[in-house]
Amino acid sequence: MITVGQLVDFQWKLAMAISSDTCRSLNYPYISMTLKVANSSGQITSKSFEMTIPQFQVSVVVWCGLLPRTCLQSLHV
Amino acid sequence: MSSAGKAAASAAGQPSDRTGFLGARIPSEVEVMTKHLKDLDKEMFRKILKAVVSALEGKDCRESMTAIAEHGNLSEEQLSYIIAGMYTLLKEALRLPASSLKQEVFKEDLRDIRIAEEFIADFASVIFGSRRAVLESAAAQQGTRRAGIADFRWRVDVAISTSSLARALQPSILMQMKLTDGNAHRFEFPSSKSFAITLP
């Protein structure tokens, strides 16, 4: 049986990448997220990742389609 | 032995309150070597010295050592004492930069421990000769070192809004380092820690 972890924490950030070692003037917005997932034995692993705005918009559409209405209400979507 | 040497020097009317390059207490393997050097002919001495210098350069010298052990008229025990003493003597001399240990002082220190003059000349040619740079770079490579940075990338970001702050406007720096030992680290410097990264 495949066990799926439980999402225990979810943090997000909307930010602007200003400048980098390869590009002086980036000026590109992105969303970064940190998910904390607990496995069946209670161990928590943390995963952080970034998305461009279009990627985020696609993922929100997919996500909202999968969530029951009660969750969406609590997220104020 | 060094105190005997100093006593001899001061008896000759020269001040000798300097500690030799081998230290206040001569390493025991060097002392034992000097006893056994007396039985050594020049050719054999040079063969052994050549093998020890190869070892210091990081080369594999098992073949030459075996050849010396088989064809020489030294017992294995004698040979091991001589090799150990030569190795330590040269390593100690190489630790000091050429600017602080001068050739004359080096030779004087070896005279103090009763090494024959012709052997002193051979030792000096290793430490102060053309092979010095090779020996120094080999020694540097054999030392313990931390990993270095192979690749370093960064990005400055400004948070507009986060799950914990509505109007954040906090700058941060995202860094990614690849080290020479193969490890990679990606981490973020929040603005509260920005004082820690003023670069020269």
Nearest 5 degrees, angle CA A29-CA A32-CA A36?
Answer: 170
Indicate the average pLDDT of chain B: 84
**Structure-token pair, residue A60:** 């929100």
pTM beyond 0.90, yes or no: no
- Residue contact B162–A12, C-beta within 8 A: yes
Question: Residue B105 above 70 pLDDT?
Answer: yes
**For residue B120, what pLDDT is reported?**
93
Give B10's pLDDT tier (boundaries 50, 70, 90). Answer: very low
Count of CB atoms situated within 10 Å of the CB of B127: 21
pLDDT of residue A51: 94
Provide the angle, in degrees to the nearest 10, between the axes of the packed helices B42-56 and B132-142: 50
Domains of chain A by residue range:
6-75
Other CB atoms within 10 Å distance of the CB of residue B156: 16
Q: What is the mean pLDDT of residues B174-196?
A: 84
Q: Has the ipTM of the complex gone over 0.85?
A: no
Residues of B in contact with A24 (CB under 8 A): none
Task: Tell me whether B162 touches chain A (CB under 8 Å).
Answer: yes
Rg (CA), chain A: 16
- Rounded CA gap, B130 and B126, in Å? 8
Contacts by residues A37-40 (CB-CB < 8 Å, ≥ 24 positions apart): A37/A5, A37/A6, A37/A7, A37/A8, A38/A5, A38/A6, A38/A8, A39/A3, A39/A5, A40/A3, A40/A5
User: Angle B42-B114-B139 (CA atoms, 0-180°, nearest 5)?
Assistant: 70
What is the band of B84 on the pLDDT scale with cuts at 50, 70, 90? Answer: very high
Q: Does A49 touch chain B (CB under 8 A)?
A: no
Closest by Cβ to A21, choosing from B154, B159, B160: B154
Most confident of the following: B59-63, B141-145, B149-153:
B149-153
Provide the pLDDT for residue B144. Answer: 77
The verdict on a CB contact (< 8 Å) between B156 and A16 is no
Residue among B152, B158, B163 minimizing CB distance to A12: B163
Phi, psi of B46 (to 5 degrees): -70, -35
Mean pLDDT over residues B67-87, rounded? Answer: 88
pLDDT value, residue B197: 58
Low-confidence ranges of chain A (pLDDT < 50): 77
CA dihedral of A49, A55, A56, A61, whole degrees rounded to 10: -130
Among B120, B139, B55, CA closest to B68? B55
Which of these, B113, B147, B166, B158, lies nearest to B6 by C-alpha position? B113
